[in-house]
Amino acid sequence: MKMNLELTKDAVDFINDEKLHNLINNTKENPVKIRDIFQKSRSKQALSVEETAELLAIKSPEMLEELYQTARDLKKSIYGNRIVLFAPLYIGNYCINNCQYCGFRSSLSRAVRRTLTDQELVAEVAQLEKEGHKRLILVYGEHPKYTPEYIAQTVKTCYNVKVGNGEIRRVNINAAPMTIEGFRTVKEAGIGTFQVFQETYHKETYKKFHPAPGVKSDYMWRLNAMDRAFEGGHDDVGIGALFGLYDWRFEVLGLVEHSHHLQDRYGVGPHTISFPRVKPAYGLDLHLPYQVTDDQFKQLVAILRLAVPYTGLIMTARESAEVRDAVIEFGVSQIDAGTRLEIGGYQEERGKNQELDREQFEVGDRRELDQVIEWLLTKGFIPSFCTSCYRVGRTGEHFMEYAIPGFIGRFCTPNAMLTLAEYLEDYSSAETKKAGYELIERELSYIKDEKKREDVASKLSLIKNGKRDLLY
């Protein structure tokens, strides 16, 4: 693919491998320092890479327990007990890159290649709406077919599908890095977050897993992607690392460096961080000496929660239901549910087994949306379909302004309750409906401000009477 991989004039490589390795190798568990960091975290301040390295050095069960408690408390005080739900929708798996871990890689001639037609896309979105979804992330391989204009078109198509009370209110994107112009084109289509994962921040490992040719072999083109996104008008970006390619501690420090870089340069950190672990994929026989254990995974999520308190943390259905159950309380704010990764999978595959030759990797949690909601309710979380901030313009710097003084709780918890009520009215099973309204009643009683409580209660009765899309 011919593409001008021109970096922005002020592109910098903000990952200093030597510095990060030194921090990992020379930081030993120091309970006094670590407790000071916990204290700092409890006042909702972001951590430096050096402080993050102190947390990565924790090994003793006692300090680990304190880390988990701090993460749990911080999550509650910043995000309340809501979990935002979304569905990934794979648009096409043609790809010119040869990422060694991916079921879409170009060298896999046996993989089934497909791009949804307009009609198929409409059918997939309609199916997701019928299940109750309001937020999507569209996923694309990297290919000349998937131009910014094409991506913008697919976004618009999703917004136009309306089935019954269903509608998609926020479309996020996970696609290849673009030029500034490309990012601008996609932004104008009205997307929420643009996600690009660096995969690994470690240059040597990056080279090994992303062989040339293929645009993705250029480390700096990818590292600079979010800078170009900001230059192209985005203020809501998602970063991530694919855990298991290199030392998990290096990747955590890389993510923190990346967040600081964006915060320092654009006044806004990433809106979300994703931390997928490498999963089995079609035709994959990888030797992965850096695979991340469940315990390390839990620790890294808790550390990220402390390091970047105002950044949403996304745990995907790559993880099993058991792992999601064990880790969710340590800082996760968003999960996908009812996930199918086969292209066209929502229409065609419900209830069937996975077909690895049609999907990017194996899904760990294949529960339906209603089952995931019921699970969240039994754990005391409020499942939320809220898209309010993005729709009323509370993004980027504005989002940070709202977030930092703790206003999020005032908007987010009521919005979570309202969008959950919509789900319970329109889509849920009887058991979920019962559990959902019990939780809503309980949450209502926690709202201290009487006026606010009455206002939320009146919006809830409007929803019961058929009104939709009420938001704060």
Residues 10-49 touching ligand SF4, rule: CB under 6 A, are: none
Contact window for ligand SAM (CB under 6 A) among 196-204, 329-337, 368-376, 460-468: 196-204
Contact window for ligand SF4 (CB under 6 A) among 12-20, 91-99, 147-155, 160-168: 91-99
One of 41, 52, 97, 316 touching ligand SF4 (CB under 6 A): 97
Regarding 116 and contact with ligand SAM (CB under 6 A), the answer is no
DSSP labels, 414-456? HHHHHHHHHHHHHT--HHHHHHHHHHHHHHHHH---HHHHHHH
Tell me whether residue 104 or residue 250 sits nearer to ligand SF4 (CB atom): 104
One of 74, 102, 268, 386 touching ligand SAM (CB under 6 A): 102
One of 34, 186, 242, 262 touching ligand SAM (CB under 6 A): 242
Tell me whether residue 211 or residue 409 sits nearer to ligand SF4 (CB atom): 211
Tell me whether residue 175 or residue 303 sits nearer to ligand SAM (CB atom): 175
Regarding 238 and contact with ligand SF4 (CB under 6 A), the answer is no
Regarding 363 and contact with ligand SAM (CB under 6 A), the answer is no
Regarding 279 and contact with ligand SF4 (CB under 6 A), the answer is no
Size of the site for ligand SF4 (CB under 6 A): 9
- What minimum distance in Å lies between the beta carbon of 1 and ligand SAM? 13
Token output for 138: 């569209």
Tell me whether residue 138 or residue 424 sits nearer to ligand SAM (CB atom): 138
Residue 197 partner contact from ligand SF4, ligand SAM, none using kind-dependent CB cut-offs of 5 to 8 Å: ligand SAM
Regarding 341 and contact with ligand SF4 (CB under 6 A), the answer is no
Tell me whether residue 103 or residue 331 sits nearer to ligand SF4 (CB atom): 103
Regarding 142 and contact with ligand SF4 (CB under 6 A), the answer is yes
Q: Strand locations in 216-319, DSSP E?
A: 237-240, 272-274, 312-315
The Cα angle at residue 56 between residues 53 and 58, in degrees rounded to 5: 120
- What minimum distance in Å lies between the beta carbon of 94 and ligand SF4? 9
Regarding 104 and contact with ligand SF4 (CB under 6 A), the answer is yes
Tell me whether residue 221 or residue 266 sits nearer to ligand SF4 (CB atom): 221
Residue 105 partner contact from ligand SAM, ligand SF4, none using kind-dependent CB cut-offs of 5 to 8 Å: ligand SF4
Residues 273-332 touching ligand SAM, rule: CB under 6 A, are: 276, 278-279, 281, 318
Regarding 189 and contact with ligand SF4 (CB under 6 A), the answer is no
Residue 58 partner contact from ligand SF4, ligand SAM, none using kind-dependent CB cut-offs of 5 to 8 Å: none
Contact window for ligand SAM (CB under 6 A) among 51-59, 174-182, 265-273, 400-408: 174-182
Residue 242 partner contact from ligand SAM, ligand SF4, none using kind-dependent CB cut-offs of 5 to 8 Å: ligand SAM
Q: What is the 3-state secondary structure (H, E, C) of the chain?
A: CCCCCCCCCCCCCCCCHHHHHHHHHHCCCCHHHHHHHHHHHHCCCCCCHHHHHHHHCCCCHHHHHHHHHHHHHHHHHHHCCEEEEEEEEEEECCCCCCCCCCCCCCCCCCCCCCECCHHHHHHHHHHHHHHCCCEEEEEECCCCCCCHHHHHHHHHHHHHCEECCEECCEEEEECCCCCHHHHHHHHHCCCCCEECCCECCCHHHHHHHCCCCCHHHCHHHHHCHHHHHHHCCCCCEEEEECECCCCHHHHHHHHHHHHHHHHHHHCCCCCEEECCECCCCCCCCCCCCCCCCHHHHHHHHHHHHHHCCCCEEEECCCCCHHHHHHHHHHCCCEEECCCCCCCCHHHHCCCCCCCHHHCCCCCCCCCCHHHHHHHHHHCCCEEECCCHHHHHCCCHHHHHHHHCCCCHHHHHHHHHHHHHHHHHHHCCCHHHHHHHHHHHHHHHHHCCCHHHHHHHHHHHHHHHCCCCCCCC
Regarding 278 and contact with ligand SF4 (CB under 6 A), the answer is no
Size of the site for ligand SAM (CB under 6 A): 21
Report the interface residues with ligand SF4, using CB under 6 A.
Answer: 95, 97, 99, 102, 104-105, 141-142, 216
Report the interface residues with ligand SAM, using CB under 6 A.
Answer: 101-102, 104, 139-142, 174-176, 196-197, 199, 242, 276, 278-279, 281, 318, 360-361
